[in-house]
């Protein structure tokens, strides 16, 4: 009953209630309850507290990929270099899960190891080829290293999977010959906004929210 009530509170983003319901001493929590408590603390960006929960989870319930992956995420936010080691362990325990590689790729990219990020995103895509987010992130990493053609191919495939290629195909067309200068217009301002891939993604996400359309 305690877990079910906490889970319902979590689903409604009532994170403080979740923590109140799971405020008993951690060793008395079930594996589901301690996992939910850790996730709740991360939602609240209380990464140090969450990391301590994952430490207890590993000590009480043994090696599980989710525990190491989540602790690695906490360590990353706390700027601990050992975050990669936890993500390595998660992959060791769950080597056929594409999400594990995508998670490590994200951290690698953020700490400047873009080549390592590309390697992990590529592996993640091999295991989960229909994940548009992974493909998009792979393209962004490739773009950083100047692999423009490969990046564009992955962007197009990601958009196709996400069902928005009919809106983005024009973005990938070769630029036409420059036109004579004209007065600023709404369309010209939008084109300026979409001058990079990341700006386009941000623009499209905002547009979807405005129109209340779910991808």
Q: What is the predicted pLDDT for the residue at 136? A: 94
Q: Is the pLDDT of residue 201 over 70?
A: no
Question: pLDDT band for position 205 (50/70/90)?
Answer: low
Q: What is the predicted pLDDT for the residue at 191? A: 46
Chain segment 108-149, per-residue pLDDT in tens: 999 999 999 999 999 999 999 999 999 999 999 999 999 999
* pTM of the full structure: 0.75
The mean of the pLDDT values for the chain is 85
Q: Is the pLDDT of residue 200 over 60?
A: no
Q: Which CATH superfamily is domain 96-171 in?
A: Tetratricopeptide repeat domain (1.25.40.10)
Q: What is the predicted pLDDT for the residue at 176? A: 56
Query: 170: helix, coil or strand?
Result: helix
Alpha carbon separation from 195 to 37, 49, 192 (Å, rounded) = 42, 41, 5
Q: Which residue has the tokens 């369309």?
A: 187
Chain segment 151-184, per-residue pLDDT in tens: 999 999 999 998 988 777 766 665 555 655 544 4
Q: Is domain 1-67 annotated with CATH 2.20.28?
A: no
Fold agreement (1-67, 96-171): yes
CA angle 57, 63, 68 (to 5 degrees): 70
Q: Is the pLDDT of residue 210 over 50?
A: no
Q: What is the predicted pLDDT for the residue at 190? A: 43
CA distance 17 to 20: 5
Q: What is the predicted pLDDT for the residue at 202? A: 56
Residue 194 in tokens: 């979409």
> Domain-by-domain residue ranges, the chain?
1-67, 96-171, 184-215
Q: Is the pLDDT of residue 57 over 50?
A: yes
- Long-range contacts of range 175-183, CB-CB < 8 Å, 24 or more positions apart? none
């Amino acid at each position: 009953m305690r877990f079910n009530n906490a889970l319902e509170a979590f689903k409604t983003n009532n994170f403080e209630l979740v923590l109140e319901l799971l405020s008993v001493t951690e060793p008395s929590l079930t594996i589901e309850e301690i996992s939910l408590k850790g996730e709740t603390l991360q939602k609240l960006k209380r990464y140090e507290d969450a990391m301590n929960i994952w430490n207890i989870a590993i000590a009480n319930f043994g090696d599980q990929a989710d525990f190491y992956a989540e602790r690695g995420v906490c360590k990353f936010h706390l700027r601990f270099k050992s975050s990669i080691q936890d993500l390595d362990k998660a992959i060791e325990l769950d080597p056929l899960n594409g999400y594990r590689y995508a998670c490590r790729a994200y951290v690698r990219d953020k700490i400047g190891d873009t080549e390592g990020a590309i390697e992990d995103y590529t592996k993640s895509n091999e295991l989960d080829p229909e994940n548009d987010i992974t493909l998009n992130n792979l393209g962004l990493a490739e773009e950083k290293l100047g692999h423009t053609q490969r990046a564009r191919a992955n962007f197009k495939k990601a958009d196709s999977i996400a069902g928005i290629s009919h809106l983005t195909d024009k973005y990938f067309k070769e630029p036409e010959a420059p036109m004579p200068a004209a007065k600023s217009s709404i369309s010209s301002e939008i084109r300026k906004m979409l001058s990079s891939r990341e700006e386009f993604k941000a623009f499209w996400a905002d547009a979807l929210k405005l129109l209340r359309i779910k991808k």
